[in-house]
Amino acid sequence: MKRNSLIYIGFIGLLGILSGCEKDETKVTMLDEPNPPVLVSIPDNLILNRSAANDTVEFTGIPVDPGFEASATYSLETCEAGTNFADPLTLYSGSKVNSIKFKISNLNELLLRKYRGDVEVQAEFRIRAVLTVDAGTGAPGTGSNPFLYTSESKTATVSPYGLPRLDVMDGTTVLGKIESAAGDGNYSGFVKLDVAKPFTLYDPDADITYGSNDAGTALEVNGSAIVPPANGWHVVSANTNDLTYGMDAHMISIVGSALTGNEDGWNQDRMMEYDYDKHYWYITTDLYVGFFKFRKNSSWSWNMGLSDVEGELQQGGVGNDIPITSAGNYSITFTILSDEKGTYTIVKN
């Protein structure tokens, strides 16, 4: 009898444990109408000034609220007022939205991708949230079909300041330009160089021409023409304070089986061109059924493929190749937002 009592007590205890586990289970319920993100505030003054280039401005927001604690990818977007965000510019992309801070020189550089320097324009700003609940099922809220939410917009008068520049000159021909985001004598920019076209740097504001010194390692007023190290796109930099310069290869390409229709395409690069005004890389080319990615200087140390957010790219990774499902002629653009993020468009012609 004593043994039976012990068995009965043990059984009751087991039921209690199972009952407790059931009570402790957390159920996630999504609101029928999730609360969208909120753009709480934008900087008081977006008529930017070069003299404040090193100051910081802040946008603040409130995350999307689907009724439970959720992670989302947020974008801060801007467009000209009245265009209904038909062609927005992404200023920020990340997982946090409470405080988005910019150094004025960096914000100015971004705004110049959309708005002309030293020209006032009415612009709208909003926060866009991409919420992914689960992945792999194809159901609403999954990686291939995420929930999208946008805040109400705020309008402000915007005017980025035009940047001081040095013209890259082959004799009397302008090959390109490099700019100083802070107006502090430090210049940089993309320039397509040709080893057969040595160049000088001309300051149109001060009417000064810079070349290299006799050793070819530093800038010198009225110095010799600088010989490029290789053909193709480079980041050309110059410091007119300490008279130094540099040239770093920055050649963006597409690579992958879609270039050839077979795996050999992963060992080939089709180089893209750069658009100064729109600040993106572009190419129009024939592609086959297959996959491709973007990479720099024909190296896998820096490459971008698909992220979980439609139209956005992320650095590196396996299994995020961009698919081509129908052979044909395509126009592709690639915008680099940071070393980790980018966006792209692809249109079949």
Q: What angle do CA 31, 37, 40 make, to 5 degrees?
A: 140
Residue 160 is given by DSSP the state P
| Interval 280-309: pLDDT, tens | 999 999 999 999 999 999 999 999 999 887
For residue 151, being part of any structural domain is answered with yes
For residue 304, being part of any structural domain is answered with yes
Indicate left, alpha or beta for 256 from its phi (over 0: left) and psi (-120 to 50: alpha).
left
**CATH number, domain at 327?**
2.60.40
**What pLDDT, on the 0 to 100 scale, is given for residue 9?**
39
For residue 230, being part of any structural domain is answered with yes
CA dihedral 52, 53, 57, 59 (to 10 degrees): 140
Q: Is the pLDDT of residue 14 over 50?
A: no
CB atoms within 10 A of CB 16: 10
User: Over pLDDT 70: what percentage of the chain?
Assistant: 87
The model's pTM is 0.65
Q: Which residue has better confidence, 318 or 298?
A: 298
For residue 58, being part of any structural domain is answered with yes
Question: Are residues 212 and 257 both part of a single domain?
Answer: no
144: confidence class by pLDDT, cuts 50, 70, 90: low
Closest CA to 272 of 262, 259, 288: 259
Which of 105, 138, 159 is the last residue in one of the domains? 159
Residue 24 is given by DSSP the state H
* Alpha carbons 142 and 144: distance in angstroms, whole number: 6
**What pLDDT, on the 0 to 100 scale, is given for residue 29?**
67
* Alpha carbons 340 and 336: distance in angstroms, whole number: 9
For residue 171, being part of any structural domain is answered with yes
Amino acid at 128: R
Listing DSSP states for 284-330 in one string gives: EEEE-SEEEEEEETTEEEEEEEE-SSTTEEEES-SS-PEEE-S-EEE
Which of 201, 219, 249 is the last residue in one of the domains? 249
| Interval 229-246: pLDDT, tens | 999 999 999 999 999 999
Contacts of residue 216, defined as CB under 8 A and 6 or more positions apart, other chains included, come to: 224, 226, 227
**What pLDDT, on the 0 to 100 scale, is given for residue 298?**
95
249 neighbors 295 (Cβ within 8 angstroms): no
330 neighbors 345 (Cβ within 8 angstroms): no
| Token pair listed for 181 | 């985001």
Instruction: Specify the 3-state DSSP secondary structure of 172.
Output: coil
**What pLDDT, on the 0 to 100 scale, is given for residue 12?**
43
H-type alpha helices, the chain: 2-24, 104-111
Which of 249, 284, 310 is the last residue in one of the domains? 249
| Interval 36-48: pLDDT, tens | 999 999 999 999 9
